[in-house]
Structure 1
Amino acid sequence: MTPCFREQQRFSDPGQEPPPEWTAPTPPHGFPAQPLQTAPPVPPAPPVTGPSAADPPPELPPQTSPVPLPAPYLDLSTVALLGQPKQAPTRGWRRWLYLGTFKLVNLGESPEVTSQTTLIEEAGRPLRGCYRIAVLSLKGGVGKTTVTATLGATFASTRGDRVIAVDANPDRGTLSQKVPLETPATVRHLLRDAEGITSYSDVRRYTSQGPSRLEVLASESDPAVSKAFSSSDYARTVEVLERYYSLVLTDCGTGMLHSAMAAVLAKADVLIVVSSGSVDGARSASATLDWLDAHGHQDLVRNAVAVVNAVRPRSGKVDLQKVVDHFSRRCRAVLQVPFDPHLEEGAEISLERLKPATRQALLELAAVVARDFPAPGHPAN
């Protein structure tokens, strides 16, 4: 027979006195601390002489999940708060439709305008420090000086910083003839007074500026001067200019062995090799790359930009696509500049007088060159 609850003494009588330890006073210094029970020391494991197939694999420590980062604050930029307004069309039938519907139908810009806007943004890429561009060719008459002047004018008209072109031709250069002449000073005068140049206004006394804001530093044209423009002269010139200009373009001579070429190649961040659309022009440009490869400038050749410049109307049977394919295998990019009657004049250059196709080609050339600009926070060499 199962005993009852009272017999099992599972409940106590409320009237019964509590045990004495329940009512005992607390010691003045508290209860004595009980010693912690620690595991006995583990003897060191014997040295392992080699892995055994019977041994279990070692246990890896548990992987802890990464602490979640706090949620970022809401972006308070103008675009985030007000949205990106749709750009109204600026030309073509889209513009007429936009105005004809009292600005109710806005189809946005055409793909052509959007592409040109992208090229302008690339050409105007922010640049920290000074970036040096050298334009060269072994053959004369291929439009090397014209490419220097038009590319510099394109950069100067699309950017907000200062752009200058230097005539480093040891012979009588013609770069100064591409802009209105404002001063008879040359690079010789700049070097003579280099110690006293402490500001941009001091340099401006030796340069001429065109409508595009491109400045040109002329070479020595006095036939009585017999001293050649040496490598040290060019290095000192660039040392002065790079303190006040973001882009320095150099119009090199046709010879690769003249004294200034060593400093030009040492200072250049990118090379632009100019070729005409003729057979001898293409061969001379390719020979220029061969000479650079043979003299330890392989990196400059791989990063170079080849320009096939049409110095005359297309009348021959040269396959320009094969010329482009040849240089595309050796250089970073190849671009073609079409023939333009304004450039054929050989006088001062005005971008407004160029054909739209020529201006588009020069803008593409500027964008290609600008893609090699150092990233923000990494100044140019």
Structure 2
Amino acid sequence: MTEVNFPGARRSDMYVETEERPEPVAVATKALEEPADPFVEPEAAQAADPVQAPRKDADEEDIEPIGAAKSGLNGLLNQLFGGLLTLAPSAKELHARELEASRGRFEALIRQSSWTRAVGLLVANKKGTAGKTPLSILLGGVLAAIRGGSVAIVETSDDKGQLAYRAEGDPQLGMGELVANVSNVRTQSQLRGYTVTQTSFASVIGSTPQWRPPLTRQNVLDVASIVDEHFTIRVMDTGNQYSSGPFGAAVDVADVLVIPTMLAQDAVSEALELLEFLEHQGPEAARLARTAIVVMMSDGRPEFKPSRLKKQFMDKGIAEDHIYAVPYDAHVAERGALTLGKLAPATRQALTAIAAGVVAQTNQNVFAKDQNR
């Protein structure tokens, strides 16, 4: 497999494990089949840091000591006795250290990856309420927060969607107005007049409360073109009609496909149908399908067993290390405006791992796509 930018980074390091699943909301009282597995990812395998030299075997050099406990009861006792005691860290503290180390690797990959052009992320699933809009905002927000901005989250649905509603702020101008005036937009300052900047520093181009005409294929291509002149990453929140012109345009300007799905058979079935559809739309669309990132989300409703739904994606050809999980989060389930700072730590950790996985796949797909050109 060709590695771009960071040859040492391995996809197996894109996972995050959470200790336990957050308490479900009141409606999640019974699973549809059998009780769902805890919403966790497999333990991250040891992987080389993207920027470090290859590691030596344990018999070639001394293994780095774990160090004394710094938190919990053992940490408190170590502090009270002024170094006379060197109690080892608890399992909980070791787990926290592992999470911190993995987060550092994820953020380094996200921050240090670079491309010679803007890149496009396609967030799609034919099923409504599959999590497309929340994931678009949260994924774009994590990328912007770590990279310092230059991420645009764009509504590309045929009719007005919920992107502006789930984002922070109230847009004075939006997608409809931008489409009408796109030929006059030439500078970043002009383009930003149609965006709402989030606390994550991502810029959202949604729709105002007023009705807007349905988008056309050319509308999406025009907006993508001007956005790419002024932003590094374009996240596209799509609609539900695969055969429409806007969706086809979004596919044409995408480098990586991200498929959100709830833990329900109808959402998974629609996602699998999307993969099959793309396989018949030409080599670049087929590449999106083969390298898709799947994000299984939980909104507190009754759920199918995650492992069974995961197997359906793997049977369709999706690599196991391309399937991620996001735990239930009350802030997301509120279905209001989303703010990164209000997410539970486990949710933020999972999204950071997903963002790193998306960036790693972007590195590979952009290289392969541009080489073909």
Q: CA deviation at 1:103?
A: 9.5
Cα 1:273/1:373, change in 2 over 3 Å: closer
Residue identity matched to 2:346: A
Residue identity matched to 2:248: A
**Cα shift readout 1:267-314 (whole Å, capped 9, x = no counterpart):** 00011112210111111111111111233332111111111111224x
1:187 paired residue number? 175
Alignment counterpart, residue 201 of structure 2, candidates 209, 213, 220: 213
Cα 1:152/1:380, change in 2 over 3 Å: farther
Which whole-Å CA distance do the structure 2 matches of 1:97 and 1:373 have between them?
47
Alignment counterpart, residue 349 of structure 2, candidates 360, 366, 369: 360
The 8 Å contact of residues 134 and 250 in structure 1, kept in 2 or not, is answered as yes
Ranges in structure 1 where 5+ consecutive residues have no aligned partner: 1-85
Q: Helix, strand or coil: the match of 1:335?
A: strand
Structure 1 residue 176 corresponds to structure 2 residue 164 = yes
Which whole-Å CA distance do the structure 1 matches of 2:76 and 2:103 have between them?
20
Structure 1 residue 264 corresponds to structure 2 residue 277 = no
Residue identity matched to 2:173: A
Cα 1:230/1:92, change in 2 over 3 Å: farther
TM-score with structure 1 setting the length:
0.68
TM-score with structure 2 setting the length:
0.70
The 8 Å contact of residues 182 and 207 in structure 1, kept in 2 or not, is answered as no
Residue identity matched to 1:189: E
Q: Counterparts of 1:19-38 in structure 2 under 5 Å?
A: none
Structure 1 residue 335 corresponds to structure 2 residue 324 = yes
The 8 Å contact of residues 121 and 257 in structure 2, kept in 1 or not, is answered as yes
Q: CA deviation at 1:324?
A: 1.4
Q: CA deviation at 1:165?
A: 0.3
Which whole-Å CA distance do the structure 2 matches of 1:361 and 1:221 have between them?
32
Q: CA deviation at 1:328?
A: 3.2
Q: CA deviation at 1:239?
A: 0.5
1:277 paired residue number? 263
Cα 1:253/1:221, change in 2 over 3 Å: farther
Structure 1 residue 92 corresponds to structure 2 residue 81 = no
Paired residue total: 291
Cα 1:112/1:183, change in 2 over 3 Å: closer
Which whole-Å CA distance do the structure 2 matches of 1:235 and 1:91 have between them?
54
**Cα shift readout 1:219-272 (whole Å, capped 9, x = no counterpart):** 36533x4x3201111001011010111110000001111220111111000111
Q: Counterparts of 1:292-331 in structure 2 under 5 Å?
A: 292-296=278-282, 297-313=285-301, 315-316=302-303, 318-329=304-315, 330-331=317-318
Residue identity matched to 1:212: S
1:156 paired residue number? 144
Which whole-Å CA distance do the structure 2 matches of 1:271 and 1:91 have between them?
42
Bigger proportion of residues as helix: 2
Q: CA deviation at 1:355?
A: 1.6
Residue identity matched to 2:280: A
Structure with the greater alpha carbon radius of gyration:
1
Cα 1:196/1:309, change in 2 over 3 Å: same
Q: CA deviation at 1:351?
A: 1.6
Residue identity matched to 2:186: T
Q: CA deviation at 1:196?
A: 3.4
The 8 Å contact of residues 143 and 311 in structure 1, kept in 2 or not, is answered as no
1:9 paired residue number? none
Residue identity matched to 2:71: G
Q: Helix, strand or coil: the match of 2:323?
A: strand
2:24 paired residue number? none
Q: Counterparts of 1:122-133 in structure 2 under 5 Å?
A: 122-128=109-115, 129-133=117-121
Q: What percent of counterpart residues are identical?
A: 21
Alignment counterpart, residue 275 of structure 2, candidates 289, 312, 317: 289
